[in-house]
Structure 1
Amino acid sequence: MNALEEFDYVISGAGSAGCALAARLSEDPGTSVCLLEAGGPDKSVLIHAPAAVVAMLPTKINNYGYDTVPQPGLNGRRGYQPRGRVLGGSSSINAMLYVRGNRWDYDHWAALGNPGWSYDEVLPLFRRSEHNEQFTDAFHGQGGPLNVTYPRHDSPVNQMFQEAAQMHGLTANPDYNGAEQEGSFLYQVTQRDGERCSAAKAFLTPHLARPNLKVVTQAVAARVLLDGRRATGMAYHQGGQLRQVRARRETVLCSGAFGSPQLLLLSGIGPQEELQRHGIAVAHALPGVGQNLQDHIDYVQTWRVPSSAETFGVSARGAARMAAAALEWRSQRSGRVTTPFATAGAFVRSAPDVLVPDLQLVFVLAIVDDHARKLHTGHGISCHVEVLRPFSRGSVGLNGTDPRQAPRIDPQFLSDERDLALLLRGAQMQQRIIESSPFDGIRGPMLYPTRLDDPAGMAADIRRRADTQYHPVGTCRMGPASDPMAVVDAQLRVHGIAGLRVADASIMPTLIGGNTNAPAIMIAEKAADLIRAHAPL
């Protein structure tokens, strides 16, 4: 691509939002789209075989594998922040759980001064994206590009979780994306025919032959090109060269909660003090860029189980099972290789007077320790609990002016003591569930023992081991012009800069009550409608 090439739209980041947005905009053959992605194509079997998530999540395979700055709330530890670096972004390396959040979340966004973002207004966008193999009702879509179903492998251990959860007052709720969120369930996943259905596979790769769509991989966005207060395209690094691509209509950032604020800052758009600290000329002072970082703080408890239990683990029996499973998956695309490991869960309220679920449980058929970076022999079961709407707020800044350098990530985990109190309450809930009678036949000792009658000890273990559940948002917050910390308006236009939008999870003013992949795709669907409505006839 030469420096003079132009497109109607230039998009940075081929993650969940970027893939969906590029596909939707290029549906119009009269519109040209260029999509830049820092990573490579999504051709690896590690992406398409769902169980191979365990090879990518703890490593740098298709993964930025960022670290946070030391976190005082986590005893000074650096947190780990895996992010996808490949077509499909984090949807190519995640656990594939399809979760939308709660109706309350979107109505709250609208109440904050963001018209068009209420639940009733975004539900059609979720439905447009979706093809759900199980649910055919007013809450779900058929015929959309994103396939949603159950994995082609189940375990009786999942039923133990369901029974135990119901013993503790959590009613069975098969469709947590439907009328009610609260209850226990089996997770639905973004898979199709036994393979991962990432945003790339759903939206982008079926349309790579479109003559009006150009996807440029190994292209690290460097900065937004500006002509005064108007965005005119993007500069990017590729193959040792700094190149440019021009946007006739709009430039859209879809680089995520870390990448989009980093790109704005490198372009001279952001808090003056942060720009001046790195010697970047201030093109537009926008104090909210990189602020308002929110993430789901997560705590995992693990119990050992015998290898005879239908779980996953490092053992002779486990190796034999997986060898047979690999052959089954290769020939039939079914069996254990289709597992996301995170298979069952629940949305719960921490107290009876809480209006909507504020805690999420994720049950895993394996030993989980430090994002699978610490391996243990044997088999186990784990349960995650996360605070859905944390009070703590962090930030994203720069470590330097080279866009290939990782951004400075500071989630400020547990800086608000209310988050610790909620996480402790949730940990006590999940320990009671796993230590109840349905698990008596398989449950062994805890990997990191805690006692229900020792909340101080459990709180100390939380500070020793809690970390992200991989859902950073909010660093390019959506809000009206009257909000001094808003970065984009309800049309996703960057305040004060023409021709520039942000369309990814960074625009969320508050973190939703659930996983963020499906909402990021919804944001892209919304952005496509907003952009097309603004496009010249």
Structure 2
Amino acid sequence: MGAFERSRTYDYIIVGGGTAGCVLANRLSTDPAVEVLMIEGGGEGRGFYVDMPLGLAFLIGRPQYDWLYKSDPEPYLNGRQMPLPRGKMLGGSSAINGLIYVRGHAYDYDHWAQLGNRGWSWESVLPYFKRSEAFQGLPLEAHGREGEWAVCDPNVRWEALVAYRQAAIEQGIPAAEDYNSGDNEGVAFFVATIKNGVRHSTAKAFLEPVRNRSNLTVVTGALVDRVTFDGKRASGVLFSLDGQVQEARAGREVILSAGAYSSPAILERSGIGAPEVLAKAGIEVRHDLPGVGENLHDHWHIRVQHRLSNTHTLNTRGGTRLGRMLLGAQYLATKKGPLGGSPTLLGAFLKANPDAPAPEIQIHVSGSTSPSFGGAMHPFPGITSSACILRPESRGYCHVAGRDPSVQPHIVHNFLKEDADREILIGSIEAVRRIAASSAMARFQPEEIAPTSAVRTRDEMLDYARQTLNTTFHPVGTCKMGRDHMAVVDDRLKVHGLSGLRVVDASIMPVITSGNTQAPTVMIAEKAADFIREEKAEAQAA
């Protein structure tokens, strides 16, 4: 691995060493004839809690690992400002997330294709999911085994969650053999990006094995300001490193992989966006592109919690100092046990409307409860059902506050703006309550402690949601792919109206996928790498 040289022109500059960036760095540097520079704003991301799957509670909210973004007051949540965790290290949010591997539903990608995005149907993207995957389990047709990224069942079970699965089946939710096969409807224990008991972020899977390539340069702790241009062609980027402004030059492409909050902000600081937004921030317009920073949406969830009897969960196993010591000793000795599993172990995908083309609700079930999200656990056994709305209709925005790259953008999601989202919210709480009341759960005597059984009416449920609703950390859509006037990139992820500039991360999703967004983001990067290599070959052949 080389060091950054101002005098060198790199073929490709990747802005962001996160979930997508690490995949691109691997794939593009496979060709020894190209020079690749990847610039990451955070650090190396090393540490015990980064490696330990259940360590994310020690990462979120810490400036060493988290960008500490915060929303502007959310107008439909009583003006609450919400913390918006984003990974600040190599691997990005794949290094601080819940590790769950979910592709979504075939409908999601077929819908993208129907919107005019050629080559993004489920049939087209499935090979890219399989390419990166090292699936550790019984052979399944939809999975790959030869890739770099470990996907496994962490095999952590609490008896209450086993019973919850049976209760969901009693309520008509089918058992899912493989929720990543294109049809995710059903209930199943999640598979996760864990290898030998250690978090397998994209930095570990894709970057570390190739870090010594002489044609790959990785710079950390470098904050990118903006893209530079030669006319309408991206020529490089300006960034700060150790207090000094540096310029890196790109011979072929600049690729923004900074995520759904930072990629649009970099575009806007570069003068690319809606003229009225840029004018408000004091930025001169280089290229009028009104969709930059718009179409922000995210999965959000509402927590329904139950106190249990006659059993143990993580609360009782890890709620005391001795219990935590025993769990830690088990993990250190074996890399197994609750600390070696994902925070959410069981998932159910279900429809609120039986005529819906795909599930609209995902219930993440964990073997613990706490008074506040991420807070200390209750001193009694319990489970949390986080009901996540899979295809929200509410849309928000992410726009720069000014020229300074160290100032976070204005972020508003407009959670609960649309009535359709509010209706599905009500349906999700009711679905969890039906599961908890099923005979399979009876021996645990579940008692609802949040929102509590006293919260019954629609207005009471909505009031609870406005006070407690949280992001599921899946922001997408702010540089959406498409052909309409609000699209930012085309179906090969090139920024409309410019050359040498591409966006490759979750911001390009025109509509969010029906599940966690980590796996789709890796797929997007795999597909983009093929686009880039194909176009290089075509240019050389011309």
- Shorter chain as denominator, the TM-score bin is over 0.9
Structure 1: distance between partners of 2:94 and 2:455? 36
Report matched runs for 1:452-491 at 5 Å: 453-480=456-483, 483-491=484-492
Which residue, out of 92, 97, 100, partners 1:97?
Answer: 100
CA contact (8 A) 1:300 1:368 kept: no
Structure 2: distance between partners of 1:370 and 1:116? 43
Q: Which amino acid aligns with 1:363?
A: V
Which residue, out of 7, 18, 24, partners 1:21?
Answer: 24
Structure 1: distance between partners of 2:281 and 2:190? 44
Which residue, out of 102, 118, 121, partners 2:121?
Answer: 118
| 1:62 shift after superposition | 0.6
Structure 2: distance between partners of 1:381 and 1:170? 19
Structure 1: distance between partners of 2:203 and 2:409? 24
Q: Which residue of 2 aligns with 1:324?
A: 326
CA contact (8 A) 1:35 1:216 kept: yes
Report matched runs for 1:386-405 at 5 Å: 386-405=388-407
Which residue, out of 418, 421, 430, partners 1:419?
Answer: 421
Q: Which amino acid aligns with 2:175?
A: A
Which residue, out of 130, 134, 137, partners 2:133?
Answer: 130
Q: Which residue of 2 aligns with 1:435?
A: 437
Which residue, out of 99, 106, 118, partners 2:109?
Answer: 106
The CA deviation string for residues 329-386 of structure 1, in whole angstroms up to 9 with x for no partner, is 2222111211212000110010222221111110011114543146654442100111
**1:50 and 2:50 equivalent?**
no
Structure 2: distance between partners of 1:375 and 1:328? 20
Q: Which amino acid aligns with 1:174?
A: E
| 1:114 shift after superposition | 0.6
Q: Pick closer, same or farther for the CA change 1:202–1:33 going to 2, 3 Å.
A: same
Structure 1: distance between partners of 2:401 and 2:107? 36
Structure 2: distance between partners of 1:366 and 1:505? 30
Q: Which amino acid aligns with 1:139?
A: A
Equivalent residue of 1:440, what SS?
helix
Q: Which residue of 1 aligns with 2:178?
A: 175
Q: Pick closer, same or farther for the CA change 1:345–1:428 going to 2, 3 Å.
A: same
Which ranges of structure 1 fall in alignment gaps of 5 or more residues?
A: none
Q: Pick closer, same or farther for the CA change 1:267–1:179 going to 2, 3 Å.
A: closer
Q: Pick closer, same or farther for the CA change 1:316–1:37 going to 2, 3 Å.
A: closer
Q: Pick closer, same or farther for the CA change 1:179–1:281 going to 2, 3 Å.
A: closer
Structure 2: distance between partners of 1:41 and 1:493? 29
Q: Pick closer, same or farther for the CA change 1:447–1:350 going to 2, 3 Å.
A: closer
CA contact (8 A) 2:50 2:95 kept: yes
The CA deviation string for residues 256-299 of structure 1, in whole angstroms up to 9 with x for no partner, is 10010000001100010111111111111110000011111211
Equivalent residue of 1:47, what SS?
helix
Equivalent residue of 1:148, what SS?
strand
Equivalent residue of 1:432, what SS?
helix
Q: Which residue of 2 aligns with 1:517?
A: 518
Q: Which amino acid aligns with 1:512?
A: T
**1:225 and 2:197 equivalent?**
no
Structure 2: distance between partners of 1:15 and 1:205? 13
Structure 2: distance between partners of 1:375 and 1:60? 23
Structure 2: distance between partners of 1:454 and 1:434? 18
Equivalent residue of 1:405, what SS?
coil
Q: Which residue of 1 aligns with 2:71?
A: 68
Q: Pick closer, same or farther for the CA change 1:292–1:146 going to 2, 3 Å.
A: same
Q: Which residue of 2 aligns with 1:336?
A: 338
Q: Which residue of 2 aligns with 1:530?
A: 531
Moved more, 7-16 or 154-163: 154-163
Q: Which amino acid aligns with 1:509?
A: P
| 1:4 shift after superposition | 2.4
| 1:152 shift after superposition | 4.2
**1:216 and 2:219 equivalent?**
yes
Which residue, out of 366, 369, 388, partners 1:367?
Answer: 369
Q: How many residues end up aligned between the 2 structures?
A: 534
**1:192 and 2:192 equivalent?**
no
Q: Which residue of 1 aligns with 2:302?
A: 299
Which residue, out of 80, 83, 87, partners 1:84?
Answer: 87
Structure 1: distance between partners of 2:322 and 2:311? 14
| 1:492 shift after superposition | 0.5
CA contact (8 A) 1:476 1:488 kept: yes
Percent identity between matched residues is 39
| 1:318 shift after superposition | 4.2
Equivalent residue of 2:81, what SS?
strand
Equivalent residue of 2:383, what SS?
strand
Task: Give me the TM-score of the superposition, normalised by structure 1.
Answer: 0.96
The CA deviation string for residues 399-443 of structure 1, in whole angstroms up to 9 with x for no partner, is 221111111111011111110111111111012212333333333
| 1:18 shift after superposition | 0.6
Q: Which residue of 1 aligns with 2:493?
A: 492
The CA deviation string for residues 227-280 of structure 1, in whole angstroms up to 9 with x for no partner, is 111101111111111111111110000001001000000110001011111111
| 1:314 shift after superposition | 7.1
